[in-house]
Amino acid sequence: MIKRHISKIKSGLKNLSKALIVAGGLMIPLLTKTAQTQEPVRQNIESGENSVERNRNLLRENEYIVSRDVMRLYAQTVDPRTFGMVSGGFFEHDYLDTRSERRTFSDSLRARGYSNEEIRNFREMFKNKNIVFSESILDSPEFVPVLRHERMHKYISELPAEEQNTLNEAVDFIISDYNQKQPLWIDEEMRLEREYHERFRDRFNYEAYSQVQDKVDSLIRIYSPILHYDSRDQSFRVQTIRDNPKELLPYLMIGGIGSGIESVIENRFPQSARIYNRLKERIENETRDQQ
Ligand SMILES: [Zn+2]
């Protein structure tokens, strides 16, 4: 069950990566968890209309809000298997890359009563290095992390090629380190899960399930990939990053993955670290007042 569950989610993420994972922190549940564990108190205070207004004020040129309906239509056009809530993304280019996708998107907007001009506007919005959010996230505490994540995508894409290459050296190193080390625990992980399933069949046993997870976590600690996860919540993100390495730095910047990664980059790739820190600082400054 563990495996099946993970691979189902994994394939969902993979399919989305054509547009939306490249684009962003779309899987709201993943971000919600971090935000909740990190800042439970602030969240309660910040909810409500004030935070909507404050969040709206954070938006800059080329950053847009659409209704959740439009966002979902877009995501489902790009990948009909899209599931979960879509929070937004960075649209480096037009991901509706076939005529039939473009027609499907326009037709479904028309069916909802949007005018031709509005449809043209939406089509322009979801490309041109724009960032688009669903209104559904505007009143949520994960708006700022999602905004930071998407801006990191955007600012990286705007760097000169040379600086992008420098960043990629660090990213490639971390991904290949993970790929080399993963086989060292994956067999054992599968064996533990098989054992669990043989024992419990269709019943879910929380205690035994947690024990399997703890053992896998300790194996991962022993083989210590740089791209590790501190908790099971983060394992999906690790998958997302493996499937699309462009997600590494945007997740790193919002504290969405293993805490030791930044210091590895500092120590091994000081030039990459300088670029990353410069972007991170810029984004934090832009969004700090609203936190
Ligand atoms: Zn992303």
The count of other CB atoms within 10 Å of the CB of residue 73 is 21
Q: How far is CA 65 from CA 70, 74, 107, 112, 202, in A?
A: 10, 13, 21, 18, 43
Residue 223 domain-assigned? Answer: yes
| Contact predicate 130/81, CB 8 Å | no
Tell how far the Cα of 205 is from the centroid of ligand 1, in angstroms. Answer: 34
Residue where a domain terminates, one of 112, 142, 172 = 142
Same domain, 129 and 206: no
Residue 119 domain-assigned? Answer: yes
Tell how far the Cα of 242 is from the centroid of ligand 1, in angstroms. Answer: 12
Same domain, 166 and 137: no
Same domain, 169 and 273: yes
Residue 154 domain-assigned? Answer: no
pLDDT single digits (tens) 5-35: 333 333 333 333 333 432 333 333 333 323 3
Tell me if residue 23 falls in helix, strand or coil: helix
What per-residue confidence (pLDDT) applies to 232?
Answer: 65
Tell how far the Cα of 21 is from the centroid of ligand 1, in angstroms. Answer: 5
What per-residue confidence (pLDDT) applies to 285?
Answer: 95
Tell how far the Cα of 211 is from the centroid of ligand 1, in angstroms. Answer: 31
Tell me if residue 135 falls in helix, strand or coil: helix
Same domain, 235 and 125: no
Residue 64 domain-assigned? Answer: yes
What per-residue confidence (pLDDT) applies to 81?
Answer: 82
Distance CA 50, CA 139 (A): 9
Please tell me which residue, 224 or 144, carries the higher pLDDT value.
144
Same domain, 254 and 124: no
Total of domains in the chain: 2
51: pLDDT strictly greater than 50: yes
Residue 22 belongs to domain spanning: 2-142
Q: Token pair of 17, please?
A: 């990566």
What per-residue confidence (pLDDT) applies to 219?
Answer: 86
Tell how far the Cα of 208 is from the centroid of ligand 1, in angstroms. Answer: 34
Tell how far the Cα of 191 is from the centroid of ligand 1, in angstroms. Answer: 32
Nearest C-alpha neighbor of 21 from the set 240, 172, 253, 239 = 240
Return the sign of the alpha-carbon dihedral for residues 270, 273, 278, 281.
negative
Tell how far the Cα of 250 is from the centroid of ligand 1, in angstroms. Answer: 6
Residue 156 domain-assigned? Answer: no
Residue where a domain terminates, one of 114, 142, 170 = 142
Same domain, 256 and 176: yes
Tell how far the Cα of 226 is from the centroid of ligand 1, in angstroms. Answer: 19
Same domain, 262 and 224: yes
**Would you tell me the crossing angle of helices 270-288 and 261-268 to the nearest 10 degrees?**
130
| Contact predicate 136/68, CB 8 Å | yes
Same domain, 275 and 241: yes
Please tell me which residue, 258 or 229, carries the higher pLDDT value.
258
Distance CA 220, CA 49 (A): 43
Same domain, 11 and 137: yes
Same domain, 38 and 135: yes
Same domain, 13 and 91: yes
pLDDT single digits (tens) 88-114: 999 998 999 899 999 999 999 999 999
